[in-house]
């Protein structure tokens, strides 16, 4: 069992650089081999991971990634700011050309307080933020492409993949 100390960002970045190849290989193999019981294993490991992870020590997702804002997210958040969805979108978001997704114009996220790594709209944050890093989606192996991306940014995903590698072994 690993230490329950928070994984600070500089340490995480070094670890990821050292293990990137090994993790990507493991995740790529999961896509093709698709071992049975991965959903159950992911759910169990997810609980362990969150007992060891302090998001406020990192907030790398909010600093380096942007969520996708759904129409419902935009309505909810714009209402909070007494703006129309159009006003909110024009001020804070852009439409991604290839997907049509609405994303933050800037990084780090405009709603992140960089002093304490807390979200100023936490209670009404986008669904993408609320479900990040998506560890317990059904059909785990169908979402491996997401974990390949998130493992680069999220210490919790890093820990999840590390634990899975220990549990599943070579595949």
Question: Could you list the residue range(s) of the whole structural domain that residue 15 is in?
Answer: 9-56+135-168
Residues 81 and 48 occupy one common structural domain = no
Tens-digit pLDDT profile for residues 1-31: 344 456 678 888 899 999 999 999 999 999 8
Asked whether residue 146 is domain-assigned, the answer is yes
Q: In this predicted structure, what is the pLDDT of residue 6?
A: 61
- Is there a domain that residue 39 lies in? yes
80 plus 119 within the same structural domain: yes
Token digits of residue 79: 């209402």
Instruction: Kindly state whether residue 1 falls inside one of the protein's structural domains.
Output: no
Contact assessment for residue 66 and residue 103, using Cβ atoms and an 8 Å cutoff: yes
Give the per-residue pLDDT at 24.
94
Does residue 61 lie within any of the structural domains? no
Q: What is the pLDDT of residues 66-122, one digit of tens each?
A: 999 999 999 999 999 999 999 999 999 999 999 999 999 999 999 999 999 999 999
In a domain, residue 156? The reply is: yes
pLDDT at 85: 98
Does residue 2 fall inside a structural domain? no
Q: Do residue 144 and residue 122 come from a single domain?
A: no
Whether the per-residue pLDDT at 57 is higher than 80: the answer is yes
Number of domains observed in the structure of the chain: 2
Residues 144 and 65: their CA atoms lie apart, in Å, by: 18
Chain centroid offset of residue 11 CA:
18
């Amino acid at each position: 069992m690993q230490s329950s100390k928070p994984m600070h960002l500089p340490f995480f970045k070094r670890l990821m650089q050292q293990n990137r190849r090994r993790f990507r290989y493991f995740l790529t193999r999961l896509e093709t081999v698709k071992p049975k019981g991965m959903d159950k294993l992911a759910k169990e490991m997810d609980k362990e991971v969150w007992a060891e992870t302090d998001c406020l020590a990192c907030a790398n997702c909010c600093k380096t990634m942007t969520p996708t804002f759904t129409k419902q997210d935009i309505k909810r958040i714009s209402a909070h700011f007494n703006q129309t969805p159009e006003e909110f979108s024009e001020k804070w978001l852009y439409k991604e050309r290839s997907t049509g997704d609405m994303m933050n114009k800037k990084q780090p996220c405009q709603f992140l307080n960089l002093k304490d790594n807390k979200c100023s709209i936490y209670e009404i944050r986008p669904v993408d933020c609320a479900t990040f890093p998506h560890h317990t989606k059904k059909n785990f192996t169908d979402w491996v492409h997401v974990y390949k991306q998130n493992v680069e940014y999220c210490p919790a995903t890093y820990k999840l993949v590390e634990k899975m590698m220990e549990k599943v072994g070579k595949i």
